[in-house]
Structure 1
């Protein structure tokens, strides 16, 4: 399935020195031409001109169209291009090319235009290389006898020498080709495409809006949007006022809780006010503005909101008090758990939590006692919101104390006892004495002393070492 144009379109050109012929009036888009499509037309001309797009016949105009012409364009820049390139050697007349497009919606438009200029000029080009034939001397025929080995070796040497001579001759022939070759002039054609300017001049229903017209249309549209928003706001406020009147009257007449929080005169006066506004709503209020509906709704809520608040507090206040007292009971178990599982928690912080809990309990007792003496139609002594706020502060304090981390244990280095210190010192002294005796025994042969003298000194050192060893347990036993 291929979409086709529902109408056929023509293009007409008009301008100075344009002859009315087949080139200035052409069928551009035949009926049922494939969508989308692009078209191209060219005209030989040297001055600016105008382009008109129209339906092929006025008998088959679409509904709402009053003229066959639906688009007009002014193509400029062609005269300037003619003056600019007229002094060059033109090989062909200057042509103006027009590029059209037919969109998927069947809308025909002129997309762009350009001028084609062809000139001929002489340019220098290198001459073509002549074919150079390499001349080489033919090698003489040589007969090789089958029985002579030395003769064959001489022949091979002669052939190698001839090949070297041939290579040198080839290189000598190729050297002249690297030098600059002579040039010659040749006539060549060059083509330039100069873009042309298109100015839309459409008039009538298809004419685009100017900036002033667009601004005026936006202004009017904004005004209409504001009116629509005000109309919706008026309807919503009227509906809210009507719904508030009906729901409030039903609650006042059927609910027994309102009898606990209001007097008979208050309910009677409020009902009369509701009836008054309801009567105005169906008479003078039919054409009232949104602000008037808002004023009447605010006046009714100023009377009804305190009544509804006291009515809701009849159940909300006891529920909040019960939640607070339940948490106070759980707090005692939390504190006991701290003493068992978290002994590192500061005692002053725990005492602060307990003091705040006692304050909340005392406050609840006082307010409940005061509320029991307050009439239901008066301002309550406290509200459920007051209870929740105080309870939240206490819970926040408990959470902060519970998040205190356990301190890291301190690692202390073990202190050495006096006995261990003495033993270490005696061990070091004995080691030094042994080192000195060993050094003395090593020096004896160097001094020329007899080996007997060295042997006699050895038992003495051993006995002194034994004496030191025997003395160490005695010091340990004394300690």
Structure 2
């Protein structure tokens, strides 16, 4: 079983796996440690990840990016409308969700952002499986901390469609904090002051600041704040607009009117931005940007900082908000950890460091910290690995309330209640109690819609409670509902049941009195032992025994006071209440249809890849045989065979570049067999000769080895014979008979005496 963590990013995604007593980031098929978050659609198949990046400029209208930010949202969302500036494909409404309108296999198709996310996850799963040589199932995915319930459900649905079991949907900065804390051996204990760390994560499109407290074996998220429109792509956008204006004046071209030209310019300014992170000046060169015009430009770091000045003015706003929510000051913070590619921008680092007045820390890998934290979380949740105990206490970022219809039998009943407060611990469970005589519905929504990203619909779900009725006396049924905000940050009403109040008698606890026992009672009539200043080693009853058995009998037979009891009402569970829920999640039937469609597209992609591979093999075979029949195979083929083979190769080559350009896999295989029917005997003769030569060489080596071994044996025998001839003769043994006197008498009596 595999343990995989995935940082699902807007620009790139990173895969990390737990293995070899640690966590490794694995490379994709072209040995890159980050895979572009892109899905493209072509006339024959899809292009995902690196393949999508390679064809993006020639297939802009059918390449979808930023799908992670689109999943679980509607087309009317203002944020989605703003996202169109960064997505080259056309966005449209698909069944109430935002989706993309693309041309796939020659037909117009519409895919939701959830489906596109599932396609990308399928590619990541295949990458991980190829590296691990194991099937991949369990995974932990990251998401921005500001995601709402519907967005989180969309990512979970995408994982289901892709055949992945998401063990946890983890907030990105919580993942970073886990990767930071689980490796630390010097964290304070429970009775010491916690270590407080601010994690500043500035990536391609998000800026998140999170305050985390660490103690030995646990982390607690105290607050998070964010800016959803702050990151590398907004710097790129400012540079594109700057150079577009410059080129309009200098070269009389408007790159903003041409999608491909704008894309080429965006690719160029991204390189400029990276160069300016380490240098004071950077050139820009884009060949044939449009109308066969080559453009050149130059930018200084000071000019860049002036262009992004409005963004730099907001550089510390999320940090200030996070500290205010955590009720902490800059002086309370022990460290500031920076992650995310955009934290390499010098002006951003300077602004944040000046705010804290202390050095920033870059101990974590800025591009891989989230994926590593996800892999650690997956290892903790998986039964396969044994990991150091480390608890994660995440927090609720948006307050959630329940509303319901007022009961006719309770005219003054409140109809709403905020159940999960902002800042509460995640995961969390609450029990809701209702008094009803009929089935009823309740609705969950976010209590403060103005805090949600954009103008997201605050609705979370509607839950219907069935089987409710009045009891035989006509009284209310007491209904209990279990509402849970789970580890994914998703709300569900998991179960319902009803209870009855019954009267039971329970003893009234006696007021605390001075403790007495039989020994203590009898101590009044017997002298006590003198005080020694040491604790008693025996109970008093053992040290002071009664003088007669009659005294013991009197104590034992004394009447006891009757136990006082009282009647109390207690609730006893009597049965379950059926529940039905309507949420933003896809129903099982829809997920099954999407999964089947995904499987079908995977098979299409595989067929296209196999067909292309067979085509390449056929082309390679033609060129290889054309060369070898003149050289390597020349002596093994007759003139007639050579002519016949060359004619066959010529005819198939013409077919390959004419009618065979879009042939099927079976046709390419058939053409290869046609060639081998002529070339096969020639190749066999060549192989037979090579095999014969190899056999001859092998036999020669064996004979040489046998001769060498025989020579060694002969030399060994000669050496042994020589050694035996030169050895000195052994001393002769004399047989002597000893008398009895000699056997008993010592050798020298005189010396013995």
In the alignment, which residue of structure 2 is the partner of 1:174?
555
SS in 2 for 1:23: coil
In the alignment, which residue of structure 2 is the partner of 1:209?
587
Q: What is the rounded CA distance, in whole Å, between the counterparts of 1:34 and 1:296 in structure 2? A: 66
In the alignment, which residue of structure 1 is the partner of 2:625?
248
Q: What is the rounded CA distance, in whole Å, between the counterparts of 1:243 and 1:250 in structure 2? A: 11
The 1:208/1:189 distance shift into structure 2, 3 A limit, reads farther
1:281 Cα deviation (Å)? 0.9
In the alignment, which residue of structure 2 is the partner of 1:101?
484
Q: What is the rounded CA distance, in whole Å, between the counterparts of 2:427 and 2:700 in structure 1? A: 80
In the alignment, which residue of structure 2 is the partner of 1:69?
459
The 1:325/1:108 distance shift into structure 2, 3 A limit, reads closer
Q: Which of the numbers 493, 508, 511 marks the counterpart of 1:110?
A: 493
The 1:337/1:23 distance shift into structure 2, 3 A limit, reads same
The 1:184/1:58 distance shift into structure 2, 3 A limit, reads closer
The 1:285/1:191 distance shift into structure 2, 3 A limit, reads same
SS in 1 for 2:604: helix
Q: What is the rounded CA distance, in whole Å, between the counterparts of 2:458 and 2:545 in structure 1? A: 88
SS in 2 for 1:27: strand
Matches within 5 A, 1:278-297: 278-297=653-672
In the alignment, which residue of structure 2 is the partner of 1:346?
none
In the alignment, which residue of structure 1 is the partner of 2:688?
313
Deviation sequence 1:405-436 (CA, Å, 0-9, x none): xxxxxxxxxxxxxxxxxxxxxxxxxxxxxxxx
Where structure 2 has 5 or more consecutive residues not aligned to the other structure, the ranges are: 1-210, 212-220, 225-394, 527-543, 717-753
Higher normalized strand content (fraction of residues): 2
Q: What is the rounded CA distance, in whole Å, between the counterparts of 2:509 and 2:401 in structure 1? A: 51
Matches within 5 A, 1:52-451: 52-56=443-447, 67-76=457-466, 79=469, 82-83=471-472, 95-115=478-498, 117-121=500-504, 167-177=548-558, 186-194=565-573, 196-202=576-582, 206-210=584-588, 212-253=589-630, 255=631, 257-321=632-696, 323-324=698-699, 327=702
Q: How large is the RMSD of aligned CA atoms in angstroms?
A: 4.7
Tell me if the contact between 1:270 and 1:303 (Cα under 8 Å) persists in the aligned partners: yes
Tell me if the contact between 2:427 and 2:489 (Cα under 8 Å) persists in the aligned partners: yes
Q: How many residues align?
A: 303
Q: What is the rounded CA distance, in whole Å, between the counterparts of 1:269 and 1:284 in structure 2? A: 22
Q: What is the rounded CA distance, in whole Å, between the counterparts of 2:624 and 2:469 in structure 1? A: 82
1:336 Cα deviation (Å)? 12
Higher normalized helix content (fraction of residues): 1
In the alignment, which residue of structure 2 is the partner of 1:24?
415
SS in 2 for 1:12: strand
The 1:126/1:99 distance shift into structure 2, 3 A limit, reads closer
Deviation sequence 1:196-225 (CA, Å, 0-9, x none): 43523205xx14414x44443343333222
SS in 2 for 1:269: helix
In the alignment, which residue of structure 2 is the partner of 1:471?
none
Larger radius of gyration: 1
The 1:49/1:33 distance shift into structure 2, 3 A limit, reads same
The 1:313/1:49 distance shift into structure 2, 3 A limit, reads same
1:123 Cα deviation (Å)? 7.0
1:102 Cα deviation (Å)? 2.6
1:295 Cα deviation (Å)? 0.3
Q: What is the rounded CA distance, in whole Å, between the counterparts of 1:207 and 1:135 in structure 2? A: 75
Q: If the length of structure 2 is used for normalisation, what is the TM-score?
A: 0.34
Tell me if the contact between 1:97 and 1:115 (Cα under 8 Å) persists in the aligned partners: yes
Q: What is the rounded CA distance, in whole Å, between the counterparts of 2:450 and 2:637 in structure 1? A: 83
Q: If the length of structure 1 is used for normalisation, what is the TM-score?
A: 0.51
Q: What is the rounded CA distance, in whole Å, between the counterparts of 2:702 and 2:505 in structure 1? A: 106
1:11 Cα deviation (Å)? 0.3
Tell me if the contact between 1:100 and 1:110 (Cα under 8 Å) persists in the aligned partners: yes
1:313 Cα deviation (Å)? 3.4
